[in-house]
Amino acid sequence: MIRTNRQLFDEVKLGHNWAWKLLVARYEKLVMSVAMRCGLSIADAEDCAQLSWMALYKNLDSIRNPDRLGGWLARTTRRNAMRMVKRLVVRGEYIEGDGAADSKLLLSDHEAERLEQQVHFEYAINQLDDRCKKIIRELFYSPKGDSYREISNRLGISENSVGPIRNRCLEKLRRILKECGFL
């Protein structure tokens, strides 16, 4: 059963660990990716991520719109990461993170939003069966051509089946995104 953020949030507030684990599974990559892209090393990003999750735990009652939890976590993590970077720079301990391609210490709102979308999208893909996962990844991520013949060759299915399978998988993906409240 797929639950929206709001439903998981209510369960967490009732003290249910399983709901917390599901929320963590949904957003752990977002938190780590934001921390890394703010220029932290892996070790520092992990400390930063821990701070963000603790902040969520402490602020459960004050979050008014759980549907926008991804945005809240991204902003909180960015704030924590920037504080950490400043502190590390002052102490002369700053090591440029593996995730910071050009040592920019800012992650724009737009980039954070795109990361959130990517996390939601990947979460939904991971709820699909293996065949749909493969075909959806081909459709959205493959750098190669996306003709039915090429897709059928890569996935080992007949060319005539690609169209109907693609339709079914896209519909499933859309339904999951809707059920999660991401669309």
Partner 1 sequence: MIRKVRHPSRQRMITAVETGVVGFRSHLKECVSCRVLFELLSKFRIDGAEELQQSSPRLLKLIESIPIDSLKECHTPVVKGYLVSDSWDRVAFAQVRGVATDLTRRLLLKAGPIKLELAAERHLDKWEFAARVYDRGRASVKFMIKIGGHKVTVGPSGFFYWSSKRPPAKVRLLGESHTIEFEGLSW
Contact positions vs partner 1 (CB under 8 A): 6-7, 10-17, 19-21, 24, 28-33, 35-36, 42, 45-46, 49-50, 53-54, 57, 60-61, 99, 114-115, 117-122, 139-141, 145-146, 163, 166-167, 170-171, 173-174, 177, 183
Cα 9 to Cα 1, 32, 98, 123, 146, distances in angstroms: 15, 21, 32, 17, 39
We find the least distance from the C-beta atom of residue 90 to partner 1, in angstroms, to be: 25
We find the least distance from the C-beta atom of residue 87 to partner 1, in angstroms, to be: 20
Treating both helix axes as pointing N-terminal to C-terminal, what angle do 130-141 and 148-155 enclose, rounded to 10 degrees? 140
Residue 53 or 72 having the CB closest to partner 1: 53
What is the rounded CA–CA span in Å between residue 86 and residue 172? Answer: 45
Cα 151 to Cα 112, 130, 134, 169, distances in angstroms: 32, 15, 10, 14
We find the least distance from the C-beta atom of residue 38 to partner 1, in angstroms, to be: 12
Residue 94 or 124 having the CB closest to partner 1: 124
